[in-house]
Amino acid sequence: MADLPIAAVVRIAKKSGAERVGSDAAVALLEKAEDYIACLARESNKLAMHAGRKTIKEEDVELAVKSV
């Protein structure tokens, strides 16, 4: 089961220009979004740990975006 609500993903797709989003496309978008967020969180956590912190900060996320 997904952690993000599918309606939120559909809403983002529509705000990004999609007129309609099929249910299979919504599920695919949801899965890819969750995969990307998980990857970004892992990389951000590595950067925070490298800096000697347990807390992920915005700067860790910004650096992780550049490397993912």
Q: What is the pTM of this model?
A: 0.89
CB 30 within 8 A of CB 9: yes
Q: Where are the domains of the chain?
A: 6-67
**Average pLDDT score over the chain:** 96
Q: Residue 41 above 80 pLDDT?
A: yes
**What does the pLDDT read at residue 62?**
98
CB 32 within 8 A of CB 60: no
Up-side HSE of residue 7: CA atoms within 13 Å toward CB? 0
Q: Name residue, tokens 């007129």.
A: 19
Question: 1.50.10.20, 2.40.10.10, 3.40.50.300, 1.10.20.10: which CATH number matches 6-67?
Answer: 1.10.20.10
**What does the pLDDT read at residue 45?**
98
